[in-house]
Amino acid sequence: MRVVVCIVSVIVAEDLTKQFGEFVAVDSVSFAVGEGEVFGFLGPNGAGKTTTMKMIQCVSPKTAGKLTVFGMEVSTHQREIKKLLGVVPQENNLDPDFTVHENLMVYSRYFDIPRTSAERIIAELLDFVQLSHKKDTLIEQLSGGMKRRLILARALINTPRMLILDEPTIGLDPQARHLIWDKIKSLQSQGITVVLTTHYLEEAARLCDRLVIMDYGKILVQGKPDELVREYIGTDIVEAENDPKVIACLERNASSYDVLGGRVQVYTNNPQEITYALLKECELGQITARSATLEDVFLKLTGKKLRE
Amino acid sequence: MSYFAVPKISRRVLKVWLRNRDVFMKTYKVNFLPPFLEPLLYLFALGFGLGRYIDVIEGISYVKFIAPALIAISVMNSSFFECTFGSYVRMYYQKTFDAIIATPLSIEEVITGELLWGATRSLIYATIMLPVIAAFGLIELPSSLLIIPFSFIAGFLFATIGMCFTAITPNINSLNYPTFLFITPMFLFSGTFFPLALLPEPIQYFALATLPLTHVVRITRALTLANLSGFLLLSLAWIVLVSLILFVLAVNLMKRRLIV
């Protein structure tokens, strides 16, 4: 018996471009997100991640190219698309005049959810994000993590087919972050497609089935996190001090390396061999060997220069 | 993007109106006090205080002369400030508009809902003021009851004016300019505390052409004095026409500001 796995693309972007006057924020990017995937957008500040997200959620019109969500063109089917989306924005925009429950109730009206079903959904969602005990609390009395969880609940009020999360765990403590991660994983298991941006590479590696790394409006690479690490870095990294002797030594061994500030990073699939060679031939003091991570890929591709 | 594209709106504007009503009702104790107290303060200070030195003005007592103006001013202030400072806070600081347009609602519907709410606030204030002023026997009934529906129309006009300023203001402090340069002169020179006829004729025409409050005061006063004339229809037409133009302009200016 043959099992045919057919992955439907729920977002398709072809040569998608966004310009603000002369500035090209998103420069002819193409990608496709499959149904049920967790898909990540990574990149330094100003890379064009949030702009791409805003085009997907139909609040920022594209300048050129093609973009469809659930097979519908974003420039003509905004209402239909927005009905199927749940959005967690980068900035908290809960209504400070309302309590936790009122925030969700007022939001449910925007989706034409009848009051009785809204009450049921709200009770379930508050339970899901563990805020049932804060039902009647005003927004300003919530902690950062609680606000973020409430926004997640708000994004789920219309039982969306796709969630858009712009920096879902920004500014949260590790406990709150892990809770959000659990929730995202559990939503994925319910078949919801998740599109997210994040600056936390560990978060991306943990959550994303596939991701793209963007910079200056372009997609630099896309793929599965572990495959990207293997392809661009190797399994491991050996770090040594930035010293001309080390460099010369690495050149002799034809190793793949980068100089990052005061450190030299050697990309390798065989850390023992490199470490041994460096220690033996180059008389160095400090050498560290560690597993390569997505952060290494990110820094290798986008550089260490600070972005304003 | 055009400044005068006709906004595409649906009954969803009601959801935005409801959101603002819910906030208003949550703080109703603070909200209902000003329209109740304000006319009393003005009536005592100007009507019964200063007015004692004025025997008769245009054939009536001074306090009767200013009573309709107080309602008109309150109609102007309530919707103008709701759609300037109030809307700006919701737009910029609370990001309420961003939260709403992530749902099936469009920015056109958000702005229209805000404007309708501004107009409703004028209606609420006028409705609270009427019995207070009527208690002093200063207005004719039942003609004065027409002020209630009229306050919504007039309130909508000042809401659209306010929203145009909100759409172009660089920051919240700059909203003080239209307040001082437009609202305050209107408050004083729209036939409110002295008849427009005292002003030189060219300035009278200028006031009628550019100061919306003159038309609102004119109609309100005719209603409180039960002294209606055909000329009032012209004022009503002016109000409706200008509101419609500014409504379309306000929505388009806001789209320019928020949809980038």
**What is d(CA A221, CA A277) in angstroms, rounded to the nearest whole number?**
32
Instruction: Find out whether A42 and A49 touch, Cβ atoms under 8 Å.
Output: yes
For A234-291, CATH gives 3.30.70.260
User: Chain B interface, mutation test: which of A76, A88, A93, A156, most B Cβ atoms within 10 Å?
Assistant: A93
Residue A6 has pLDDT above 90, yes or no: no
Token match 């008769």: residue? B56
Instruction: Find out whether B130 and B37 touch, Cβ atoms under 8 Å.
Output: no
Q: Is there a contact between B15 and A109 if contact means CB atoms under 8 Å apart?
A: yes
Residue A280 has pLDDT above 90, yes or no: no
Residue A3 has pLDDT above 70, yes or no: no
Burial (CB count <10 Å: 0-12, 13-18, 19+), residue B134: middle
Grade residue A285 by pLDDT with cuts at 50, 70 and 90: low
Token match 């050996």: residue? A238
CA-based nearest residue in chain B for residue A157: B103
- Written as six digits, the tokens of B256 are 């320019």
Interface contact A76, partner B, CB < 8 A: no
Neighbours of B143 (CB within 10 A): 15
Q: Is there a contact between A82 and B259 if contact means CB atoms under 8 Å apart?
A: no
Q: Tens of pLDDT along A219-256?
A: 999 999 999 999 888 888 888 888 787 787 778 777 78
Tell me what the pLDDT averaged over chain A comes to. 90
Q: Is there a contact between A20 and B260 if contact means CB atoms under 8 Å apart?
A: yes
Neighbours of B44 (CB within 10 A): 12
Grade residue B2 by pLDDT with cuts at 50, 70 and 90: confident
Q: Is there a contact between B18 and A109 if contact means CB atoms under 8 Å apart?
A: yes
Identify the pLDDT of residue A111.
Answer: 97
Give A300 or B139, the one with higher predicted confidence: B139
Please report, rounded to a whole number, the percentage of residues in chain B having pLDDT higher than 70.
100
Q: What is the ipTM of this complex?
A: 0.91
Interface contact A291, partner B, CB < 8 A: no
Rounded to a whole number of angstroms, the distance between the first and last alpha carbons of chain A is 56
Identify the pLDDT of residue A308.
Answer: 56
Identify the pLDDT of residue A102.
Answer: 97
User: Taking CB atoms and an 8 Å cutoff, what residues of chain A touch B254?
Assistant: none
CA angle A214, A215, A221 (to 5 degrees): 40
Grade residue A281 by pLDDT with cuts at 50, 70 and 90: confident
Identify the pLDDT of residue A304.
Answer: 66
Instruction: Find out whether B236 and B149 touch, Cβ atoms under 8 Å.
Output: no
Identify the pLDDT of residue A300.
Answer: 85
Q: Is there a contact between A89 and B98 if contact means CB atoms under 8 Å apart?
A: yes
Token match 């004729």: residue? B201
Q: Tens of pLDDT along B153-196?
A: 999 999 999 999 999 999 999 999 999 999 999 999 999 999 99
- pLDDT, mean of residues A129-150: 95
Helix (H, G, I), strand (E, B) or coil at B211: coil
**What is d(CA A155, CA A86) in angstroms, rounded to the nearest whole number?**
4
Identify the pLDDT of residue A306.
Answer: 66
User: How far off is chain A from B99, nearest CA to CA, in Å?
Assistant: 6
Residue B128 has pLDDT above 60, yes or no: yes
- pLDDT, mean of residues B201-219: 94
Q: Tens of pLDDT along A80-102?
A: 999 999 999 999 999 999 999 99
Residue A286 has pLDDT above 90, yes or no: no
Please report, rounded to a whole number, the percentage of residues in chain A having pLDDT higher than 90.
68
**What is d(CA B48, CA B53) in angstroms, rounded to the nearest whole number?**
9
- pLDDT, mean of residues A204-216: 95
Q: Is there a contact between A60 and B105 if contact means CB atoms under 8 Å apart?
A: no
**What is d(CA A164, CA A162) in angstroms, rounded to the nearest whole number?**
7
Residue B33 has pLDDT above 70, yes or no: yes
Please report, rounded to a whole number, the percentage of residues in chain B having pLDDT higher than 90.
87
**In terms of residues, how long is chain B?**
260
CA-based nearest residue in chain B for residue A20: B260
Grade residue A12 by pLDDT with cuts at 50, 70 and 90: very high
The strands making up A193-197's β-sheet, listed across from edge to edge, are A85-88, A162-166, A193-197, A38-42, A210-215, A218-223
Least confident piece of the model among A166-170, A198-202, A239-243 = A239-243
User: Taking CB atoms and an 8 Å cutoff, what residues of chain A touch B94?
Assistant: 93, 95-96
**What is d(CA A49, CA A108) in angstroms, rounded to the nearest whole number?**
28
Identify the pLDDT of residue A5.
Answer: 55
Question: Which of A17, A60, A13 lies closest to A217, judged by CA?
Answer: A17
Same CATH topology for A9-229 and A234-291: the answer is no
Pairing of strands A256-260, A263-268: antiparallel
User: Taking CB atoms and an 8 Å cutoff, what residues of chain A touch B102?
Assistant: 57, 59, 82, 85, 87, 89
- pLDDT, mean of residues B204-224: 95
**What is d(CA B248, CA B32) in angstroms, rounded to the nearest whole number?**
31
Domain boundaries, chain A: 9-229, 234-291
**What is d(CA B194, CA B192) in angstroms, rounded to the nearest whole number?**
6
Pairing of strands A162-166, A193-197: parallel
CA-based nearest residue in chain A for residue B101: A59
* Cα A231 from chain centre: 20
Who among A83, A89, A106 is closest to B104 (CB)? A83
- pLDDT, mean of residues A135-161: 96
Domain boundaries, chain B: 13-258
**What is d(CA A49, CA A212) in angstroms, rounded to the nearest whole number?**
10
What fold characterizes domain A9-229?
Rossmann fold (3.40.50)
**What is d(CA A194, CA A178) in angstroms, rounded to the nearest whole number?**
17
Interface contact A276, partner B, CB < 8 A: no
Residue B57 has pLDDT above 80, yes or no: yes
**What is d(CA A196, CA A211) in angstroms, rounded to the nearest whole number?**
9
User: Chain B interface, mutation test: which of A78, A110, A150, most B Cβ atoms within 10 Å?
Assistant: A110
Report which secondary-structure segment, H or E, holds A41. Answer: strand A38-42
Please report, rounded to a whole number, the percentage of residues in chain A having pLDDT higher than 70.
94
- pLDDT, mean of residues B70-90: 97
Report which secondary-structure segment, H or E, holds B191. Answer: none
**What is d(CA A125, CA A288) in angstroms, rounded to the nearest whole number?**
46
